[in-house]
Amino acid sequence: MSLAFSSAMSLTGSFTADVFAAHLASLPPLPDWWLERKRAAYARFAALPMPTRTDEAWRFSTITSLTLDGFSLPLPSPALPPATIGLPATAELAFVNGFLAAAVPLAAELRARGVIVDTLQHAFHHHEALIREYLLKQTARLGSAKFSALHEAFLTDGAFIYVPRGVELDQPIAVFHHSLTANGAAFPHTLIVAEDLARVTVLEYFGSSDDSQAQLAVGATDLYASHGAQITYVGKQDWSHRALSFHAHANVVRRDARIQSLNLHLGARQARHEALSQLQAPGAFSEMLALTVARENQEFDQRTLQLHQAPNTKSDLLYKNALLDEARTIFSGLIVVDQDAQKTDAYQSNRNLMLSEAAEASSLPGLEIQANDVRCTHGATSSRIDPEQEFYLQSRGIAKSAADELLTFGFFEEVLSRLTNEDLHDALRTLIQTKFKK
Amino acid sequence: MSSLVIKDLHVAIGDKKIVQGLSLTINGGEVHAIMGPNGTGKSTLSKAIAGHPDYTITSGDVLLDGRSILDREADERARAGLFLAFQYPSEIPGVSIANFLRAAVQARLAEGEEIDATAYYKRLYSKMDLLKIDRKFTSRAVNDGFSGGEKKRCEILQMAMLEPKFALMDETDSGLDIDALRIVADGVNTLRGPNLGVLMITHYQRLLNYIVPDHVHVMWDGRIVKSGDKSLALELEAKGYDWVKKELAATATAAAATAATVA
Amino acid sequence: MKPPTDTLAAPAAEATDNPVAGIDQTKGDFSYNVAYAFDAGTGLSEDTVRYISSVKKEAPWILEFRLKALKKFLSMPMPTHWATKDLENINFDKIRYYLSQGQKPKRTWDEVPDDIKRTFERLGIPEQERKFLAGVEAQFDSEAAYSNIKEVVAKQGVIFVNSTEGLREHPELFKKFFAKVIPTGDNKFSALNSAVFSGGSFIYVPKGVKVAQPLQAYFRINAENFGQFERTLIIADEGAEVTYMEGCTAPKFSTSTLHSAVVELVALKGAKIQYITVQNWANNVFNLVTKRGIAHEEAEIKWIDCNIGSRLTMKYPGVVLKGRKARGEVISIALANDGQHQDTGAKMVHAADETTSNIVAKSISVGQGRSTYRGVVHIPKHLKGCKNNTECDALLINSHSRTDTYPAITVRGDRNFVQHEASVSKVNEEMIFYMQQRGLTEGQAMSLAVNGFINDLARQFPMEYSVELKRLIDLEMEGSVG
């Protein structure tokens, strides 16, 4: 009896049926279909086991520290930490503890053309058909089915960005998620839909104000690019260094569309990031970029899937990790080329820069290819700063530490330079260099 | 005497019509040059004759010694005596020139007949001596990491070994410096003789200083618009392709005028 | 004891028409005569293990070792959480775990299907060997050649015997290294082998002795050597050098459909061991093999592994780089045709400073064939100056050919270097046209291209092996185009 009880405890952690019932009761009126989905998601969450050591999808991950105990659903907070993307934005939404705290609305002219930058709460009532079509439609394929179900069950609010056919936005849209409560659980969500030939850039920020607070974040970002659409996305994760973070990211790319996503991983004690690219029709192109600065005892666990489902599609992945102190990184990538996805171009590259004796990097670059007329390559390297380069800089009078820093920035630059928007490139470079020097 | 007859040939890549009604007869021992500006269909012509699967022959015929070759696969055409010297020869990593040529020579023997290895190497070495090619050359993989000149030299060596009736030389001079060009031309001139017909395809006249053709043709918009002897090449070099273009326009106008008068 | 049954695996759903190994095993009778002098019957129990041990007149510690291994085997799950579900088609109750050697099969040469005969002919297999390989003779009489080699190396103090003899004659030496490189419970199939092993070689090369000619299991092929559960242990003492070759390129038609060998290599300080395998089992065979070596200080272990046959091969030769400056290398070639899955790779475990490892794997998938590369590279702790380089390239011939790559690389610290590069491609169409233009048929062109693809690796095999390998690839490629 007690055994059954304790195992039930470990399956849901703090997120018991009672907590879920209280969560549902706290919500404003919402469509029935959504409440139904939340209930179904909770049932899945409660039934699914926690990851185990022998689980292939969690190979090399530290399993013992994946606990859902000791967290609570935070209340809205009056505080709004300063945050900027370093660029002028077309519109902004800021969430604190999962509740909308501030917004810079879209210009009326863009609203008139049908662009939507809205909260999910509001969109459930005003854009119900779109939300129903796109919200949380990606199945968790990379191991986090339980956490995705938890996200869906407790999702309260998030951002909904919609760009109608042919509308091109020049300036980015910014979304901020702040988690400001000790032991608080956050469920940030952003949904971006670009219709045919639309163009949009979205910057998303995740952060805590206090690096010593234990927190839980279970988030999702879904991007849909319809025929010929272009989405540029930059996500910056800077949670408290005691946070446990799970995040699911999906690029769904249709005919001749293009999504470029860059995720910066800086915060959390343990961060699992699962990224999917689904190339659904000929001409689709997904570029997946990531930069990680791993320090102290942080663990960054990145799992990716490039799914080529149609002929003549392209995906290009470049994940770079800089490891300091006793940090760990795990990169597990898989390119899957379906039987009829001939003429696929798929690349996957993971580069680890080892900057300390005790840091540990694991790479699992995988391929599953079922079509023969393809060009697929992957590569993984782990190495320190090249002593020859270091010496070359030193011989020009640059101190060793400065030389190392320069070379590390050079290591990051390969990823940053993929951003075609120069302002964005510069803003991110400043940001990552500041962060690295800290 | 052998003959290669191209009759009113039309070639398309996908929906795009490239060669549009080209006729030409080459007899054994003759060297013909086809010149023309880029994009006029010169390379298409040689690839189509050789049987490249990307090129569709929509009408017309190609006859080798009186028999149409269009129903044959590329390898059958090659064994029948056609040799294409590629503009950009493929690299075949891991396969040495010696082994590759041996397989190609073996493919020309009757079923069940085995190549005589000693005789083969003797012949290979004599051809290499003839073309002044170093012995070490044949242990390298076919074209793998070769310079432009080495690739062309490899083509000439294969031509010497396979002894075709007709050689189609596609932009043989492209990517060659003057020294390499001279070496290749020497090779072709060495192989020249009554049993070999040559069709040289080139954009520039300079190759023709080294391999002097018997006939020169100008190709424009997928067909031959002017033919002559070697002096035509010099004239082209001096006046440029625009000269042909103007002349063509004048002829067309004259023809139209004639047609109008008749009407 | 019950008569043997051949249908221990559920018949593969996809009919196999592999031109070399894919002979329909239901046609023709491939079974040996049932009147074995020693026969453990089908199925696996403590009695089977006791029986094997008593027939071999083993010391009590070996029986104990076997019984422990059996328990381990029975307690371990099938590794299907990462490996193919095809493993579930093995029916352990229908397997015959021990046959002694020297039995006469009932089949005659006339009964051997013509296509097999043709294959032997085209591969240029000597007359005598053909009969053994086709299952007409249970033993290939090459005792003379074997004795000769044995005599030559014996003068240098080299021990080269089968493992049963090794256990009996050299128990101290054997025991010191046996199951130390690959512990019984390393995986389910190493446990199985530990319970029922028989056959295989035991080799000891004394200090400083360099064995000039390769020691070939091929010279003494018999029922035991082509056994299901062979166990090989090779020890090269300080500064010694030895090359060992097993298998042959000729297709081997087997009565048993599960083969699970364990091969352990120990290279002491400064020693060099090279182990060459050419595997070409008929493609009803599950070939689940564990191979690993320990390289001590400045020692070198090199696995050259070529897999062409079998229905499913799972084999990841490994090197534990235990001493400073030890080197490990795996050269792997895999060819998977219809109905075949070559699941191969390499493991490199760095356990000392300045150790280096190199992996080069090339696979070719033809028709519906599937090739999988799995690799492990591990540089733990605070090691320095360790290097690994891995290259794996896959060539896909037909539109439904399949390949997977699953490497796992872990590096700790900032003083080591690892690099992994992999590519998947098909044969370049322009290259094929180029060769056709020189008069080769598409099939010949494809053969040349594929041979070229593996040429740099094939060159590392001894001459006669690489020549046979080339012919085999020609045969395999014949049906792949058109």
Pick from B213, A344, A383, A77: nearest CA to C409: A383
Report the run of H or E that residue A114 belongs to, with start and end: none
Distance from CA of C295 to the nearest CA of A (A): 24
Interface of C with B (CB under 8 A): 428-431, 433-442, 444-445, 448-449, 451-456
Q: Is the pLDDT of residue C254 over 90?
A: no
Strand partners, A220: A189, A248
Listed by start position, the domains of chain C span: 1-271+283-298
Q: Is the pLDDT of residue C34 over 60?
A: no
Q: Are residues A104 and A13 in the same domain?
A: yes
Q: Is the pLDDT of residue A185 over 50?
A: yes
Residues sharing a CB contact under 8 Å with residue C78, sequence separation 6 or more, in sequence order: C87, C88, C188
Residue from C438, C442, C466 whose CB has the most chain B CBs within 10 Å, to mutate? C438
Which residue segment(s) compose the domain that A144 sits in? 2-384
Residue C223 has a pLDDT of 46
Q: Are residues A280 and A403 in the same domain?
A: no
Residue C146 has a pLDDT of 59
Residue A1 has a pLDDT of 36
Residue C251 has a pLDDT of 61
Lowest mean pLDDT among B214-228, C135-149, C250-264: C135-149
Please name the residue of chain A whose CA is at the shortest distance from the CA of residue C379. Answer: A360
Report the run of H or E that residue C339 belongs to, with start and end: none
Interface of B with C (CB under 8 A): 50-53, 73-75, 77-79, 82-84, 86, 89-95, 99-100, 103-104, 107-108, 141, 158, 162
Pick from C91, C456, C21: nearest CA to C249: C21
Q: Are residues A140 and A8 in the same domain?
A: yes
Residue C134 has a pLDDT of 63
Lowest mean pLDDT among A158-172, A277-291, B165-179: B165-179
Whether residues C422 and A365 touch (CB distance < 8 A) is answered with: yes
Whether residues C455 and B93 touch (CB distance < 8 A) is answered with: yes
* Tokens 């996503």 found at: A261
pLDDT band at C21 (very low <50, low <70, confident <90, very high): very low
Least CB–CB distance from C436: residue in B73, B94, B100: B73
Verify B-C touch: 3 or more CB pairs within 8 A.
yes
Residue C482 has a pLDDT of 52
> Does residue A62 contact residue A299 with C-beta atoms inside 8 Å?
yes
Least CB–CB distance from C420: residue in A354, A365, A373: A365
Residues recorded for chain C? 482
Q: Are residues A122 and A256 in the same domain?
A: yes
CA distance B92 to B101: 12
Written as one string, the DSSP assignment of A240-274 is -TEEEEEEEEEEEE-TT-EEEEEEEE---SEEEEE
Distance from CA of C386 to the nearest CA of A (A): 10
CA distance B50 to B70: 9
CA distance A34 to A37: 5
Verify A-C touch: 3 or more CB pairs within 8 A.
yes
Distance from CA of C468 to the nearest CA of A (A): 27
Pick from B226, B92, B221, B219: nearest CA to B158: B92
Task: Give the residue, A382 or C459, on which the prediction is more confident.
Answer: A382
Q: What is chain C's mean pLDDT, rounded?
A: 82
Q: Is the pLDDT of residue C30 over 50?
A: no
CA distance C137 to B122: 44
Distance from CA of C337 to the nearest CA of A (A): 14
Residues recorded for chain B? 263
Q: Is the pLDDT of residue C165 over 90?
A: no
Residues sharing a CB contact under 8 Å with residue A408, sequence separation 6 or more, in sequence order: A322, A353, A355, A385, A436
CA distance A262 to A290: 5
Q: Are residues A375 and A350 in the same domain?
A: yes
Please name the residue of chain A whose CA is at the shortest distance from the CA of residue C399. Answer: A372
ipTM: 0.85
Burial of B129 by CB count in 10 Å (0-12 exposed, 13-18 middle, 19+ buried)?
A: exposed
Written as one string, the DSSP assignment of chain B is --EEEEEEEEEEETTEEEEEEEEEEEETT-EEEEE--TTSSHHHHHHHHHT-TT-EEEEEEEEETTEE-TTS-HHHHHHHTEEEE-SSPPP-TT-BHHHHHHHHHHTTSPTTPPP-HHHHHHHHHHHHHHTT--GGGGGSBTTTT--HHHHHHHHHHHHHHH--SEEEEESTTTT--HHHHHHHHHHHHHH-STT-EEEEEESSSHHHHHS--SEEEEEETTEEEEEESHHHHHHHHHH-HHHHHHHHHHHHHHHHHHHHHH-
Show the tokens assigned to C220: 């003494």
Q: Is the pLDDT of residue C18 over 80?
A: no
> Does residue C412 contact residue A360 with C-beta atoms inside 8 Å?
yes
Please name the residue of chain B whose CA is at the shortest distance from the CA of residue C470. Answer: B95
CA distance B252 to A325: 81
Residues recorded for chain A? 438
Verify A-B touch: 3 or more CB pairs within 8 A.
no
CA distance A25 to C201: 73
pLDDT band at C224 (very low <50, low <70, confident <90, very high): very low
Rg (C-alpha) for chain C, rounded Å, is 22
Instruction: For residue B72, report the phi and psi dihedrals to the nearest 5 degrees.
Output: -105, 150
CA distance B36 to B43: 10
> Does residue A87 contact residue A172 with C-beta atoms inside 8 Å?
yes
Whether residues A374 and C400 touch (CB distance < 8 A) is answered with: no
Pick from C361, C292, C289: nearest CA to C332: C361
Mean pLDDT, residues C282-298: 93
Distance from CA of C159 to the nearest CA of A (A): 42
Report the run of H or E that residue C438 belongs to, with start and end: none
CA distance B96 to B144: 9
> Does residue C419 contact residue C389 with C-beta atoms inside 8 Å?
yes
pLDDT band at A281 (very low <50, low <70, confident <90, very high): very high
CA distance C437 to C450: 18
Written as one string, the DSSP assignment of A35-75 is HHHHHHHHHHHHHSPPP-TT-GGGTTS--TT---TT-BPPP
C325 φψ region: left (φ > 0), alpha (ψ -120 to 50), beta (else): left
Residue A199 has a pLDDT of 97
> Does residue A66 contact residue A244 with C-beta atoms inside 8 Å?
yes
How many CB atoms sit inside 10 A of residue A3's CB? 7
Task: Give the residue, C84 or C15, on which the prediction is more confident.
Answer: C84
Burial of A343 by CB count in 10 Å (0-12 exposed, 13-18 middle, 19+ buried)?
A: middle
Whether residues C438 and B162 touch (CB distance < 8 A) is answered with: yes
Residue A382 has a pLDDT of 94
Q: Are residues A169 and A220 in the same domain?
A: yes
Instruction: For residue C465, report the phi and psi dihedrals to the nearest 5 degrees.
Output: -65, -45
CA distance A291 to A436: 11
Whether residues C407 and A366 touch (CB distance < 8 A) is answered with: yes
Q: Is the pLDDT of residue C103 over 70?
A: no
Q: Are residues A54 and A12 in the same domain?
A: yes
Written as one string, the DSSP assignment of B39-67 is TSSHHHHHHHHHT-TT-EEEEEEEEETTE
Best-predicted range by mean pLDDT (A113-117, A400-404, B179-183, C250-254):
A113-117
Written as one string, the DSSP assignment of B143-155 is TTT--HHHHHHHH
Whether residues A359 and C413 touch (CB distance < 8 A) is answered with: yes
Cα B87 to Cα B68, B203, B213, C404, C478: the distances in Å are 25, 12, 19, 36, 30
How many CB atoms sit inside 10 A of residue B48's CB? 26
Whether residues C396 and A369 touch (CB distance < 8 A) is answered with: yes
Whether residues C452 and B91 touch (CB distance < 8 A) is answered with: no
Q: Are residues A340 and A398 in the same domain?
A: no
Residue C266 has a pLDDT of 98
Dump pLDDT digits (tens) for C310-368.
Answer: 899 999 999 999 999 999 999 999 999 999 999 999 999 999 999 999 999 999 999 99
How many CB atoms sit inside 10 A of residue A392's CB? 13
Least CB–CB distance from C448: residue in B89, B103, B158: B103
Mean pLDDT, residues A359-385: 93
The ranges of chain B with pLDDT < 50 are: 263
How many CB atoms sit inside 10 A of residue C478's CB? 16
Q: Is the pLDDT of residue C9 over 60?
A: no
Helix (H, G, I), strand (E, B) or coil at A385: coil
CATH of domain B3-89+162-262: 3.40.50.300
Whether residues C448 and B84 touch (CB distance < 8 A) is answered with: no
Q: Are residues A315 and A333 in the same domain?
A: yes
Residue A432 has a pLDDT of 84
Residues sharing a CB contact under 8 Å with residue C141, sequence separation 6 or more, in sequence order: C128
Interface partners of chain B (CB pairs < 8 Å, 3 or more) are C
The beta strand positions in C220-326, using DSSP E, are 231-236, 241-247, 258-259, 262-267, 272-279, 286-295, 300-307, 312-315, 318-321
CA distance B217 to C414: 67
Q: Is the pLDDT of residue A363 over 90?
A: yes
CA distance B71 to B57: 11
> Does residue B196 contact residue B202 with C-beta atoms inside 8 Å?
no
pLDDT band at C86 (very low <50, low <70, confident <90, very high): very high
Mean pLDDT, residues C170-183: 94
What is the DSSP secondary structure assignment for residue A11, as one 8-state letter?
H
Mean pLDDT, residues A278-301: 96
Dump pLDDT digits (tens) for C198-214.
Answer: 878 899 999 999 998 88
> Does residue A277 contact residue A290 with C-beta atoms inside 8 Å?
no
Whether residues A357 and C382 touch (CB distance < 8 A) is answered with: yes
Q: Are residues A116 and A203 in the same domain?
A: yes
Residue A8 has a pLDDT of 42
Whether residues B75 and C441 touch (CB distance < 8 A) is answered with: yes
CA distance B216 to B200: 9
Whether residues B50 and C435 touch (CB distance < 8 A) is answered with: no
> Does residue C224 contact residue C246 with C-beta atoms inside 8 Å?
no
Instruction: For residue B3, report the phi and psi dihedrals to the nearest 5 degrees.
Output: -145, 145
CA distance C388 to C411: 10
Interface of C with A (CB under 8 A): 81-82, 382, 394, 396-426
Whether residues C408 and A359 touch (CB distance < 8 A) is answered with: no
Q: Is the pLDDT of residue A112 over 90?
A: yes
Least CB–CB distance from A359: residue in C404, C412, C423: C412
Give chain A's domain count.
2
CA C245-C249-C253 angle, 5° bins: 110
pLDDT band at A358 (very low <50, low <70, confident <90, very high): very high
> Does residue C303 contact residue C327 with C-beta atoms inside 8 Å?
no
Strand partners, A150: none
Partners of residue B90 in chain C, C-beta under 8 Å: 428, 430-431, 433-435
